[in-house]
Amino acid sequence: MKGITLDYFIRRLGVFVLTVWIAATLIYIIPRVAPGDPIAAMVSRMSQQAGYIENSDKIIEGWRKRFGLDDPWYVQYGRYLRNLVTFDFGYSLATFPTTVREIVVRAMPWTIGLLSISTALFFVIGNLLGALLAWKKTPAFVKVLIPASMVFTSVPSLLAGLMLLYFFAFQLDWFPSLGAYGRGITPGWNWPFIKSAIWHSILPAASIVVVTFGYWTLGMRGMMITVEGEDYMTLAQAKGLRPFYTLYRYMIRNAILPQITALALTLGTLVGGQVLVEYIFSYQGMGNAIFTAIRNQDYPVIQGTSYILILTTALAVFIMDMLYPLIDPRISHEGS
């Protein structure tokens, strides 16, 4: 690929592998230092549902042996890393005999869809508003309305989701409050399901967009002001080019490049914020699965779902870094 040497590719690939390994190790350690025993918690839930369970101590001992929780830590860690490479995350402790892979396969499309839609919306809206805020030809009333629309920027996505849920779902009854699609609808490539899925995703996506686009607006405004003082802008004005043509062909095109880099670097934060959003809306994505697994101390599900999210985020950053020379021909990773 033009602008990328083999040495640079190997170094970036090494950083990618190191990032995934460190994150996977933290995922392995953190649940295990938390208080409580996942097998004992599972038996306790069974007792609450069915009453007294005879020989519970033997059940706990047998299940701990079945899931390898009595093995030395280094044996468990080695088996854990091997399973990550093969994407074999084992069985869920809380919903046995359901496998973690089944949970991931069910939840991943919903998370990818919601994250893709919300990311596209706040990136386009934020950068467009930032460009208009810095452009001298923008009407005065628009420059007043844009800062006013950024009132939710300092609000956490969880709180924004609760506010949207209260007003638009409970008070106005405009949107559904829970779930990813309506009851009685069969999932598939049919219009009733697609329409219901879109309708159910509006509030979760909006709770992410309204608290995020303001950062991109301010960032784009700063980049536009910087670009406005460049020599090629003076040349464009001297040539008598139309103002709108100068805006999108010269200003936005050059100011958007650092925003693309920032987008790749903030993907992890976006995924983290989406976890709680999915939970409060009972959205059937990875965030809801992770939150439920943490509450049930379901180690395999926590590890499997978190690993997939980290892997996809790190992969997106890696791909963005590889494609950046194609986006901006001025950028080159070739040696001098």
Per-residue model confidence as pLDDT tens digits over 285-298: 887 888 888 777 77
CA distance linking residue 215 with residue 126, whole number of Å: 7
Q: Give the per-residue pLDDT at 145.
A: 83
Residue 125, number of CB atoms within 10 A of its CB: 18
For the chain, count helices (H), then strands (E): 14, 0
Q: What is the location of CATH 1.10.3720.10 in the chain? A: 108-286
CA distance linking residue 134 with residue 58, whole number of Å: 69
CA distance linking residue 299 with residue 83, whole number of Å: 13
DSSP 187: P
Cβ within 8 Å of residue 210, ≥6 positions away: 152, 155, 160, 164
Query: ω before 97 within 30° of 0 (cis)?
Result: yes
Collect the ranges in the chain with pLDDT lower than 70: 1-4, 34-70, 265, 267-273, 324-336
CATH 3.40.47.10 fits 108-286, yes or no: no
Cβ within 8 Å of residue 220, ≥6 positions away: 126, 127, 129, 130, 131, 133, 134, 255, 256, 259
Residue 183, number of CB atoms within 10 A of its CB: 7
Q: Are 204 and 281 in contact (CB under 8 A)?
A: yes
CA distance linking residue 179 with residue 279, whole number of Å: 10
Q: Give the per-residue pLDDT at 4.
A: 66
Q: Give the per-residue pLDDT at 336.
A: 45
Handedness of CA 252, 258, 262, 265 (dihedral sign): positive
Q: Give the per-residue pLDDT at 8.
A: 75
E strands, 159-218, in order: none
